[in-house]
Structure 1
Amino acid sequence: MKKLRAFGILTTLVVLFVLIQGSIVTKTGSGQGCGTTWPLCFGDVIPYNPTLETIIEYTHRLLSSVAGMLVLLLSFWSWKRLSYINEIKFFAILASTAIIVQGLMGAGQVVFGQPPLIMALHFGFSAISLAAVSAITLFTFEKSLTRTKLVVSKRFHWFIIAITLYAYLVIYTGAFVKHMGAATACTGFPLCSGNWVLFSEGTIVFAQMFHRLAGMSLALLVLVFAVWALRFYKTQRVLTMISLTSLGLIFVQLLSGVGMVFTYNQNLTIGLIHALTISLLFALFTYTIILTRRGSKEESE
């Protein structure tokens, strides 16, 4: 089990880095750093005299390929080794499917080009892959006879599912804003260039403001989740830790989002933090669904 656990941690870190790399590719406009050829780069196995954009795109391709092989191996290994965990088959299939679709979408973007609505899904599948691989890795820390669970009401369990799905929507809207080039459509916060502009100033402004509203709504939902958990389930240490962690992540998410606005989306570090925290939050809530599903029951609150 120790070997599988170590391999799971390694795979999670590699998938996480691929996600960050993908954000760097988008942020730096390096998606065509190898031209329109794939898997070759400008028709070569190793690019000759590459530019910075080529290096960024080429290394992203290489690491994505490594991540794909690691995820497939982890999925197969965990399926065999963790068969006593009911959820393992679903997450093994999910992790493998997500990483394959993610790779194919990346290749399709290079060769054929894709509209922002489709390209936003590329980052979405990266987040799903990270969530699935993280869940598998966390399974390796569970004992065969005492699976980790959280005893909560069915209503609270369904609320967590709703937050998780909504977090994915926020991920998608954020990726759409990036691929549309709408990250700098509005200056200032919370107003848009000093005005209460929502839906009447064109698609780019609409996308930016819709994402802002979605992000702030998610923050409120996470706050409700944390208060609910700390009030009614404070004796469950794992849920307390999850609640506090989710509050920390959503705070950093909001702060980095505002930071991107005031730096005109020119600070690479802030942009990466923004993409990273929402992905980690989605992964955290995905695992929380598993734990609460195991222990959900009808109870008075």
Structure 2
Amino acid sequence: MSVITLVLIFIVNTLGFTDTITGSAMGCGRNWPLCNGQIIPSVWTRATFIEYFHRLSVLLGGGVLIGFTVAAWRSYRQIVSVRILLGLALLGVVLEGALGALAVLFVNPPAVMAAHMGIALITFVAMVLITGVIGQADCRRFDSTGVAGGRWMDRNQQESERWARTFSRLVWWSVPYGYGAIYVGAYVASTGYGSFFHGFPIPTESFAVAGAALWIDILHRSIALGYVIWMAVLVYQSWRHRHSHRRQWNLSCAAFVLVCLQAFFGWLLIETHLSEIAFLLHVTNVSLLFATQCYLGWTMLQERHLRRHQDRGALIRIS
């Protein structure tokens, strides 16, 4: 059920991104929840088709999420993280629907549209983490990151603990940074400023041509460069302990590959003059990137919990 719900949330987000890039938000007019005053519109256009099925996907995804929440609460409510993540996913869906309704009924300010994407991303990440937590709870076995068969530390205990603290801080500070980078990118997309620029990686347009949009674009590209560097640092840090912390090493490599793809899709956006396919690749990839970061941070929380549990057991045996 968690996997099905996760896939549906991903589809909802993808249709929402499609709605944005194609300018189909007004495909059903300024009516909500009806479409052009009807339950099923009698006149279909491309914008109507995209907007209508986006609304249907939200309804279906929200219904399945509620059903999954009830089932998960009955079976896993003793796990604190499941309760927290379920609440976060439900809150995200409610806020996402509310912002979507406001975007239809009123003017679509870029800040609100960017917030809409950010909240959709939080819902998706919450479902990714819930799926991982439930999968591990069913397996009932843990390794260095929460799966059986591994070690949580190196032979040198002090060095491993010191590395774990440093790496955990790097990972968790990268999460708000990544979220901020995504928000700025969504803001740029909502304002339409991206169409001003053609140079990469540095915009070749002058301030006289682009105006204030130039500074916003430079900010976005600078933050994106910092994103790539930060993921490279995570790969370097995890490489030093890749044998004893293989899960963190694999996730760090995945995050670095995804952030490099994000840069490539950014270049593709500029080269294709903001084509719809390039935009969808860009926003879908960043969803996977942010989810990977959050899951990496989650493994560090699990490791800390496991370390405390082992330390407590050692103290009991000594006493």
The answer to whether the 8 Å contact 1:11/1:70 transfers is yes
Following superposition, the deviation at residue 55 of structure 1 comes to: 0.4
The answer to whether the 8 Å contact 1:71/1:133 transfers is no
Tell me, in whole angstroms, the C-alpha distance in 2 between the residues paired with 1:183 and 1:99: 28
Please name the residue that 2:226 is paired with. 217
Q: Which residue identity is paired with 1:252?
A: L
1:184 alignment partner, SS class: helix
Alignment of 1:21-60 (within 5 A): 21-60=15-54
Please name the residue that 2:141 is paired with. 146
**Comparing both chains, which one has the higher relative contact order based on Cα–Cα distances under 8 Å and sequence gaps of 6 or more?**
1
> Aligned match of 1:180 in 174, 178, 191?
191
1:108-161 superposed Cα distances (whole Å, 9 cap, x missing partner): 110112311121000001100000011111122113543465346222112111
Alignment of 1:288-299 (within 5 A): 288-296=296-304
Greater C-alpha Rg: 2
The answer to whether the 8 Å contact 1:79/1:89 transfers is yes
Tell me, in whole angstroms, the C-alpha distance in 2 between the residues paired with 1:178 and 1:72: 31
* Length-normalised TM-score, structure 2: 0.85
Following superposition, the deviation at residue 216 of structure 1 comes to: 1.3
Please name the residue that 2:76 is paired with. 82
Following superposition, the deviation at residue 191 of structure 1 comes to: 2.0
Give the direction of change, closer, same or farther, for the CA distance of 1:230–1:200 in structure 2 (3 Å limit): farther
Q: Which residue identity is paired with 1:217?
A: G
Please name the residue that 1:280 is paired with. 288
Q: Does structure 1 residue 121 correspond to structure 2 residue 119? A: no
Deviates more, 1:249-258 or 1:140-149: 140-149
Tell me, in whole angstroms, the C-alpha distance in 2 between the residues paired with 1:178 and 1:292: 33
Q: Which residue identity is paired with 2:192?
A: G
Unaligned runs of 5+ in 1: 1-6
Q: Which residue identity is paired with 2:299?
A: L
Tell me, in whole angstroms, the C-alpha distance in 1 between the residues paired with 2:230 and 2:52: 39
Following superposition, the deviation at residue 240 of structure 1 comes to: 2.0
2:243 alignment partner, SS class: coil
- Alpha-carbon RMSD: 2.1
Unaligned runs of 5+ in 2: 146-151, 153-162, 309-319
Q: Which residue identity is paired with 2:220?
A: H
Tell me, in whole angstroms, the C-alpha distance in 2 between the residues paired with 1:15 and 1:205: 34
Q: Which residue identity is paired with 1:133?
A: M
The answer to whether the 8 Å contact 1:116/1:180 transfers is yes
The answer to whether the 8 Å contact 2:144/2:245 transfers is no
- Structure 1 vs Structure 2: percent identity of aligned residues? 26
Please name the residue that 1:165 is paired with. 176
Q: Does structure 1 residue 93 correspond to structure 2 residue 87? A: yes
Following superposition, the deviation at residue 200 of structure 1 comes to: 11
Structure having the larger proportion of residues in helix: 2
